[in-house]
Structure formats: C-alpha cells, structure tokens
Structure 1
Amino acid sequence: MRIDRFMSLRLSINRRDVKRLLAQKRITIDGVIAEDTQQVIDEFSHVVFDGRELQANTPRYIMMHKPIGVVSATKDQQHQTVIDLLSTSQREGLHIVGRLDLNSSGLLLLTNDSRWSKRLMAPDKEIAKVYRVTLEHPLTEEYIPAFAKGMYFEYEDITTRPAKLNIISEYVAEVSLVEGRYHQIKRMFGRFRNPVLALHRTSIGGLSLDTSLLPGASRSLSGEEVDNIFSH
C-alpha cells in the first residue's frame, strides 16, 4: 500500500498529517528517508518512525516433508495440520503453497511471502510438480501416451494438461504435471481402473525434497533454493 495510507492506519492519524511527517523527515523506509506520500511499500518494507519500528517483517520459506494423515491446512477440527508440526515461533503468518491431500506425502512449501507463492502457483509459469505413485495393479506402456495427451473429465467439462509419466517399476510410476486439479493423479489412473495406493511429491520446479528430512520434519530454504525453484 502507499506510505500515507500505511502510516495513517498504524498511527491513527489522517493522511494530511502523514505529509507533514514526511516533510519533517521522520519516516524511513529500508533505511532511506521517505519523502513521497505515494511511495508504495510491501509486506517486507522496513518502516521506522522517530526511531520506532512500525514494520520489520522478514520473508520466510520453509520446506516440509509432509507425512500421511496430516492435512494441508492452518486449522482443522478433526486432524493434525502441517502448521501443528511447526514450532510456535515458526507459525506466525505462514500460508501453504500447493496443498497435498490427507493421504499424500512429500514436499510441501510454506511461506509468508504472498508474491513468491502466487508466482509459484501461476499457471503461465508452468512449474512442474513431480510425484512418485504406487499402484495396486501393474503398469503398461499404454499409460504413457494417455497421460501425455491429457484426459477429459466430463463432470467439470475440462481436459487436463499433458502430463509426463515414467514407469519406474511394475507398480511404481513417476508423474510430472504443471497443474493440480482435484485428485487429478488418482482420477487419471482411475481411467485405467488402477487404484493409487501411495502418492508422494518429490519436487516442485527446481527444488527437490531434502532426503534427510524425516516425515513431519522441516527446514528453511536457502536463498539459492528460493530462486532456483523457478528454474525448470
């Protein structure tokens, strides 16, 4: 938002008074004296008034190994949530990027940076998500072109985007897709009447799940990982 609106809300003063404060050089943004009422700040701008911090948020990016049986939500009345797996000090302001359902496991991202998460989930970015899928019945080569073509689901009147399927073993496949429709992978295998027994996300874009993380464990992303996730 604009600095005049931000200061008006935080100090409970009108915007004309903010203009006077700016003229008196009493406000700094990211260490620089603010002068323009129309200057825009974001959620991570460091705002100081008369030596007092009014905003000092730090962007946070967390990788979690989501276990089965935990929901991708901030609150739930019936199940433990991924937020519950974090320490109290870590939880503040976080939201989930790209959910996994209750019975799925693997790489889950949490952040307080809405611009980063929106960019990551934007359809035009075509960030691939890779899953390891364990199936009840043996796989055959006919699955590969069916996934690559995309599948039409009459109920929603949609055709899925092309997905890449690699057969790892008789009962295990790796599926890469750039969208995440409701239970999409399970429904695509459902076309072959082949129930999914386990679904585990291994990577998102250029970021792979840290194999040293046990189910339920998490760690912060490095700056390099935050940037490299968009290289795919």
Structure 2
Amino acid sequence: MAVLKRLDQTLSNLGYCSRREVRIWLRDKRVRVAGELTKNAALKVDPASVTVDDKPLDHPGDILIMLNKPLGYVCTHDINEGQRIYDLLPEIWLGRSPQVVSVGRLDKDTTGLILITDQSALVQKLTSPKQHVNKVYRVTVDKPLDQTIIEQFATGVQLISETEPCLPATLEIIDTHTAKVTLNEGKYHQVRRMFAACDNHVVTLHREQFGHYTLGDLAPGEWRDLI
C-alpha cells in the first residue's frame, strides 16, 4: 500500500515548487488528484495519483538510476567544480528532498557506471566496506603489463601513506597495456594508486560494473532507471 502524504509536501519534496506555491497552483487548477481538481493543499494523497498540468509526477517514488559518466564530469553538487553529473539529469530532480546523490564517486578523469539515488539507506549499504560490493574497471596504462602484477594485486597492494595494504583484488591482463580489475574497496583514487605503487601509470579508467549492475549498451551521458 502506498504511503499517503500531504499534497503540498509531495509536490515540494519532488522538486516541483515550494509548499507555499502549491496553493497558487491549486487556485490556478493545475493540479489534480485521481483526475479531480482540489483546493486542499493538506489533502493526503498517493503521489502516483497526482498530475500537474495533466502530466503524471516525475518519479513519484524512489529514484535509483545508472548513469554512464562521461569524461570531465564531477560527482559533486557544487556548481563551482565544473560540469556535474547532475547536469545530465532532469532539472527538477535537483530540487528533490531527500537530495539525489551518487553512490560513491568517480573522479573527473574516470568514466563509466555510477549509481544515483535519493535513498540514503541504499547509499550506506552499497558503500559499506562490510558489504564487499565488487566494482569492475577497464584500465589502460602507459607501460607494458607484466604477469607479476597479477600476484601483486591478488596479495594486496601497499599504497603510499596507507598503514594497511589493499584487500586482494583480481587483475586480468587483456593486452600489453590493458587490464580488467575487480575490487570491492573504495579508497580514494584506489585503482590509480594501486598501479602507481606497481610502477605504472593509468592513462584511462572506465568502470564497467558495480555490484550486479552492468553498463551494457548505455551511451556516455545517458542514464536508465533501475526501479
């Protein structure tokens, strides 16, 4: 059974307008509940039954999407940091409460799969070290790969300025300069630092998989619903 919420709270939390503005929208006959006009901003409603200008509400429930992050975009809400992944999403989502956030981050120079949600409990679950959620990356490096690096990753790479080595990770050599890496940690710039500790430099870094989610044919800059 859907949770009923006040109409003004519903529209405000979904980023449509302020609770004060809802009264104006009701007066202007822009809002319907189950097909009927109402003047009651406090009316308890199922968000799925509400329309604005005869259109259903955008994602009246929770949001969980997969985005193929392009190169040069940052995973922050700060507009001073440059192009944001949130600029690739519907503008109305930026006004939602709870706020939409990324599940972990990919740095500006990393591309690929990033999950975005408004479910804080899900963020905590998927980023908790206790969950051991696998992330799979395709990596190109500037020096030829040697078979010895497979064992280095498998036993746990010791990062500079870290007291404990990384957890064991799987590295598969694709060709002389390309590898696939699977790990379940989330240290700062971890993949780049792991290769640096093995005397190699990451040229490109692309995440192909997060947990059981895979990009498939999703184009850079595009997103798809997961619920």
Q: TM-score, normalised by structure 1?
A: 0.71
Tell me, what secondary structure is at the counterpart of 2:80?
coil
1:68 matched to which residue of 2?
71
Q: Equivalents in 2 of 1:98, 1:154: separation in Å?
A: 22
Structure-to-structure mapping, 1:1-232, within 5 angstroms: 30=1, 45-47=3-5, 52-53=43-44, 56=47, 58-91=61-94, 92=96, 93-211=99-217, 213-221=218-226, 223=227
How far apart are the structure 2 equivalents of 1:89 and 1:79?
20
Instruction: Give the AA of the match of 1:209.
Output: L
What displacement does 1:48 show? Answer: 5.4
What runs of 5+ residues in structure 1 fail to find an aligned partner?
A: 1-29, 32-44, 224-232
Paired letter, 1:62:
I
Which segment is superposed worse, 78-87 or 197-206?
78-87
1:166-189 residue CA offsets vs partner (Å, 9 max, x unmatched): 011111000000011011111111
Q: Structure 2 counterpart of 1:130, which letter?
A: V
Distance in 1, matches of 2:225 and 2:63, equals 7
Post-superposition offset of 1:192: 2.5
Amino acid aligned to 1:47: K
Q: How many angstroms apart in 1 are the aligned matches of 2:160 and 2:145?
A: 25
| Distance of aligned partners of 1:87 and 1:47 in 2 relative to their CA distance in 1, 3 Å threshold | closer
Q: Distance in 1 between matches of 2:155 and 2:79?
A: 37
Structure 1 CA distance for aligned equivalents of residues 93 and 105 of structure 2: 19
Where 1:148 maps in the other structure, the secondary structure is helix
Deviation at residue 127 of structure 1 after TM alignment: 0.7
Quote the offset at 1:121 in angstroms.
Answer: 1.2
Whole-Å separation in 2 of the counterparts to 1:144 and 1:78:
36
Q: After superposing the two structures, state which structure 1 stretch, 152-161 or 169-178, moved more.
A: 152-161
Aligned residue pairs, count = 179
Q: Is the 8 A contact 2:74 2:81 kept in 1?
A: no
How far is 1:54 from its partner? 7.4
Measured in 2, the distance between the counterparts of 1:154 and 1:75 equals 29
Over aligned residue pairs, what C-alpha RMSD do you find? Answer: 2.1
3-state secondary structure, aligned to 2:195: helix
Amino acid paired to 2:84: T
Q: Distance in 2 between matches of 1:95 and 1:78?
A: 16
Give the letter aligned to residue 52 of structure 1. Answer: L
How far apart in 2 are the matches of 1:141 and 1:194?
A: 13
What is the one-letter code of the residue matched to 2:120? S
What SS does structure 1 have at the residue aligned with 2:125?
Answer: helix
1:12 aligned residue: none
Greater displacement, 109-118 / 99-108: 109-118
Q: Provide the identity percentage.
A: 35
Q: Is the 8 A contact 2:172 2:181 kept in 1?
A: yes
Secondary structure at the aligned position of 2:79 is classed as coil
